């Protein structure tokens, strides 16, 4: 009987650990390298069950040979200012690494607010990004001109949303742009890609980039209102 009680206690602790996300905030100051603990509040790099919070003009860089893994990531601040994360060639960033994280395993790009213009930028610059539950723009207050959300896949980078949507819908007047540019660069979305809103969002595929959406729906571009789809070179769209 004693053995059974101990086993249940251990299992219960494991469940609590898997379901609780610890927010770890980026402070920068040591060259922008993701893997350096001193760039993070508390001196510890975010891991499996953590929520990584990227704010500030010195962006986080996931460089060659670096593997970044966490539960979820927020990029940007409703207080204003520019924030960005870059995943360089040979680097990878994967969200939702714990088995029971549910729909929260997403990349949230935060913009707008009363603190002045803000830009949230994600650059998949030759590296690899996996966001199982999707990408979402989110604002804590008013979205106005000068507030921008930018998602770039370039230099042969790959971004994959395996079980969610790319939601760039907005009721404000800020800009939302998605760029997939260059041979080998690809964005794959299993669900919908949403670009509609008060101000059109823009999806551009150029110079051999590839965009694939599994659900067949690009709201605001195909069968919707407000979005803009631009394709040149040999980029391919698979709606």
For the entire predicted model, the pTM comes to 0.82
pLDDT digits (tens, 9 = 90+) for 68-99: 999 999 998 777 778 999 999 999 999 987 75
Is the distance from CB of 131 to CB of 160 less than 8 angstroms? yes
27-73 pLDDT, tens digit per residue, is 998 889 999 999 999 999 999 889 999 988 889 999 999 999 999 99
- Tell me which of 233 and 201 has the higher pLDDT: 201
In three-state secondary structure terms, 13 is helix
| Beta bridge mates, 180 | 153, 205
What pLDDT, in 10s, does the model give residues 141-169? 555 666 788 999 999 999 999 888 888 87
| Helix, strand or coil, per DSSP, at residue 155 | coil
Q: What whole-number distance in Å separates Cα of residue 69 and Cα of residue 74?
A: 13
| Conformational region of residue 131, where left means phi above 0, alpha means psi within -120 to 50, and beta covers everything else | beta
């Amino acid at each position: 009987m004693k053995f059974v009680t101990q086993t249940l206690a251990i299992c219960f602790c494991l469940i609590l650990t898997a379901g609780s996300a610890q927010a770890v905030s980026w402070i920068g100051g040591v060259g922008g390298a993701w893997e350096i603990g001193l760039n993070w509040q508390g001196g510890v790099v975010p891991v499996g069950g953590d929520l990584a919070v990227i704010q500030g003009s010195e962006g986080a860089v996931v460089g060659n040979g670096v593997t970044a893994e966490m539960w979820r990531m927020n990029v940007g601040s409703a207080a204003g200012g520019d924030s960005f994360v870059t995943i360089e060639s040979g680097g990878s960033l994967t969200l939702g690494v714990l088995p029971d994280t549910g729909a929260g395993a997403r990349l949230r790009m935060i913009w707008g607010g009363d603190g002045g213009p803000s830009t949230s930028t994600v650059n998949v610059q030759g590296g690899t990004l996996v966001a199982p539950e999707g990408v979402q723009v989110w604002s804590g207050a008013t979205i106005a001109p000068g507030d921008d959300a930018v998602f770039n896949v370039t230099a042969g980078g790959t971004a994959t949303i395996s079980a969610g949507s790319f939601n760039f819908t907005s009721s404000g007047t800020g800009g939302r742009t998605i760029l997939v540019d260059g041979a080998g660069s690809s964005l794959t979305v299993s669900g919908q890609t949403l670009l509609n809103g008060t101000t059109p969002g823009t999806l551009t595929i150029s110079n051999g980039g590839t965009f694939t959406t599994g659900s067949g729906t690009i709201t605001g571009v195909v069968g919707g209102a407000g979005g803009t789809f631009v394709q040149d070179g040999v980029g391919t769209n698979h709606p």
